[in-house]
């Protein structure tokens, strides 16, 4: 990768402004992570989170450490993700939402508005559950025979203040993400999650060194580094994988000119859903904990099973990832619409009749490669976490976090290259390759 490609970033004023705006918004988000919500003791809560694993550690990871700091951003962006899941599910079973989705930009804005309303409602609901949960954490053993209270003055005053504070914090994060998407670079919500994960790496390494002070095993460190490198290489390999379906455009004559006759390809990604499935699955796993805090019958037992980690948690997490891979692909890629567009452009797949037969062929191919992509995503998200637990790594930097970081980084690099190439500059890969190319299966 040529350093001259990075130097070209400073030569495009619009791209430079977008990158600086993105970095500024992420800095605001990271500052908010350290602003403690009123009425709580962050030191006691940090001890509680440090002694927990499984679901609580994952929730703290996606909130960028906001949970252990009991900050105004403790809910993170998960309520927005949950609201997005609900809206997409409604789009498949509720006709008015499906019609809005087909109306183009205006319909998308209306759906976004409904998603924001849903985010506020879910945030208030989850914030009340967290307030009840925090009150139940009082008189916690924080080590060395000492006990501490997370909440100084429990009661309805604390609960109401927590609901207002955490709901406002989530709304502000949602606004930051939308501003980054519109005025910055890459997807704002994904970048916020990535920023929280990356910010947790130095503290995780420091915790590992402190825990093994004077007894750091070189083979263990080499094993961790090997797992990280192998996981990153696997993610890049599969994220660039495509199945290219050949397309032929029919010849047509307009006056004395003959148009068409060219050949092209319809690229189908192995992992069409990207980093959305692990994010959705993580968000869904958090929900039973909220219901358990509200004393919903049966949720306490389910929450204990999920929070305990182990094979039950990993199996459920993998199955949810596979489901969301197929679900999100079905929502975002409509084979019927693609077949109709090809027919309107007088294009066809060799050996396949236009219309319904083309849609069925594309759907069949997409289903097969999505199955492989779903298995890849589930494996990458679960296996490194199991290995990290076996090596006693004291921080939640498993396959899920690496996939999000690498996936968002690749997407950001693609968008930067698009800006550079549009203005006739070389891409990040230098003069011999003006774009990051997809790997052909």
Q: What pLDDT, in 10s, does the model give residues 379-432? A: 988 887 777 767 666 555 567 778 888 888 888 888 888 877 776 655 555 554
In angstroms, the Cα distances linking 361 to 87, 143, 347, 358 are: 28, 61, 15, 5
**37 by DSSP, 3-state: which?**
coil
Asked whether residue 289 carries a pLDDT value surpassing 70, the answer given is no
Q: Terminal CA-to-CA distance of the chain, rounded, Å?
A: 23
Residue bearing the bigger pLDDT, 346 or 191: 191
Average pLDDT over residues 219-230: 80
Say how far apart CA 29 and CA 5 lie, in whole Å. 29
**Cβ partners under 8 Å of residue 432, min gap 6:** none
Q: What is the pairing mode between strands 140-143 and 146-148? A: antiparallel
Asked whether residue 435 carries a pLDDT value surpassing 50, the answer given is no
pLDDT at 151: 79
**Cβ partners under 8 Å of residue 188, min gap 6:** 25, 176, 177, 178, 179, 180, 181, 182
pLDDT digit string, tens, across residues 357-385: 888 999 999 999 999 999 999 998 888 77
Asked whether residue 210 carries a pLDDT value surpassing 80, the answer given is no
pLDDT at 4: 52
Residue bearing the bigger pLDDT, 436 or 428: 428
Helix (H) / strand (E) containing 29: helix 13-33
Say how far apart CA 125 and CA 98 lie, in whole Å. 27
| Beta-bridge mates of residue 36 | 71
Asked whether residue 174 carries a pLDDT value surpassing 70, the answer given is yes
Asked whether residue 313 carries a pLDDT value surpassing 90, the answer given is no
Range from 3-7, 142-146, 224-228, 293-297 that averages highest in pLDDT: 224-228
Closest CA relative to residue 26, chosen from 282, 198, 206: 198
Helix (H) / strand (E) containing 302: helix 299-307
DSSP category for residue 244: E
Lowest mean pLDDT among 91-95, 167-171, 249-253: 249-253
| Beta-bridge mates of residue 117 | none
Q: 220: number of CA atoms within 13 Å, CB side?
A: 12
Average pLDDT over residues 75-83: 84
pTM for this one?
Answer: 0.75
Asked whether residue 308 carries a pLDDT value surpassing 70, the answer given is no
pLDDT at 338: 86
Confidence of residue 164 (pLDDT cuts 50, 70, 90): very high
Residue bearing the bigger pLDDT, 191 or 253: 191
Asked whether residue 63 carries a pLDDT value surpassing 60, the answer given is yes
Say how far apart CA 159 and CA 155 lie, in whole Å. 6
Closest CA relative to residue 151, chosen from 258, 38, 254: 38
DSSP category for residue 296: -
In angstroms, the Cα distances linking 233 to 158, 236, 240, 250 are: 47, 5, 11, 40
Q: What percent of the chain has pLDDT over 70?
A: 76
For the chain, domains (ranges, CATH) are 3-440 (1.10.3370.10)
Q: What percent of the chain has pLDDT over 90?
A: 14
pLDDT at 56: 62
Range from 4-18, 161-175, 187-201, 241-255 that averages highest in pLDDT: 161-175
Say how far apart CA 288 and CA 307 lie, in whole Å. 10
Rounded to 5°, angle at Cα 113 from 111 and 119: 105
pLDDT at 27: 92
pLDDT at 276: 82
Say how far apart CA 261 and CA 221 lie, in whole Å. 57
């Amino acid at each position: 990768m040529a350093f001259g490609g990075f130097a070209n970033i400073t030569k495009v004023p619009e791209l430079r402004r977008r990158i600086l705006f993105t970095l500024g918004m992420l800095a605001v988000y990271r500052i908010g992570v350290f602003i403690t919500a009123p009425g709580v003791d962050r030191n006691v809560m940090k001890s509680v989170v440090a002694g927990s694993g499984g679901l609580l550690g994952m929730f703290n990871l996606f909130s960028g450490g906001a949970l252990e700091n009991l900050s105004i951003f403790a809910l993170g962006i998960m309520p927005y993700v949950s609201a997005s899941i609900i809206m997409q599910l409604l789009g498949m079973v509720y006709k008015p939402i499906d019609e809005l989705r087909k109306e183009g930009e205006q319909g998308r804005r209306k759906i976004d508005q409904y998603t924001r309303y849903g985010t506020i409602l879910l945030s208030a609901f989850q914030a009340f559950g967290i307030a009840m949960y925090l009150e139940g954490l009082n008189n916690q053993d924080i080590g060395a025979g000492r006990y501490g209270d997370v909440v100084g003055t429990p009661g309805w005053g604390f609960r109401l203040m927590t609901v207002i504070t955490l709901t406002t914090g989530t709304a502000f994060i949602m606004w930051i993400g939308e501003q980054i998407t519109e005025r910055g670079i890459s997807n704002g919500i994904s970048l916020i999650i990535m920023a929280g994960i990356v910010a947790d790496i130095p503290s995780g390494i420091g915790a590992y060194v402190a825990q093994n002070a004077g007894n750091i095993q070189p083979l263990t460190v080499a094993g961790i580094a090997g797992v990280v490198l192998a996981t990153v290489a696997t993610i890049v390999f599969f994220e660039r994988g495509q199945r290219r379906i050949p397309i032929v455009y029919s010849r047509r004559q307009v006056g004395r000119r003959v148009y068409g006759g060219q050949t092209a390809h319809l690229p189908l990604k192995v992992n069409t859903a990207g980093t959305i499935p692990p994010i959705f699955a993580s968000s869904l796993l958090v929900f039973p904990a909220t219901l358990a805090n509200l004393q919903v019958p049966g949720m306490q037992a389910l929450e204990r099973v999920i929070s305990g980690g182990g094979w039950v948690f990993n199996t459920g997490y993998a199955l949810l990832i596979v489901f969301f891979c197929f679900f999100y692909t079905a929502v975002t890629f409509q084979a019927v619409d693609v077949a109709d567009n090809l027919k309107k452009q007088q294009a066809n797949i060799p050996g396949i009749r236009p219309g319904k037969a083309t849609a069925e062929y594309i759907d069949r191919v997409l289903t097969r490669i999505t199955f492989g992509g779903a298995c890849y995503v589930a494996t990458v998200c679960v296996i490194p976490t199991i290995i990290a637990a076996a090596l006693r790594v004291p921080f939640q930097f498993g396959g899920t976090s690496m996939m999000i970081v690498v996936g968002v980084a690749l997407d950001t690099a693609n968008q930067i290259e698009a800006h550079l190439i549009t203005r006739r500059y070389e891409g990040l890969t230098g003069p011999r390759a003006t774009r990051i190319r997809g790997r052909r299966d």
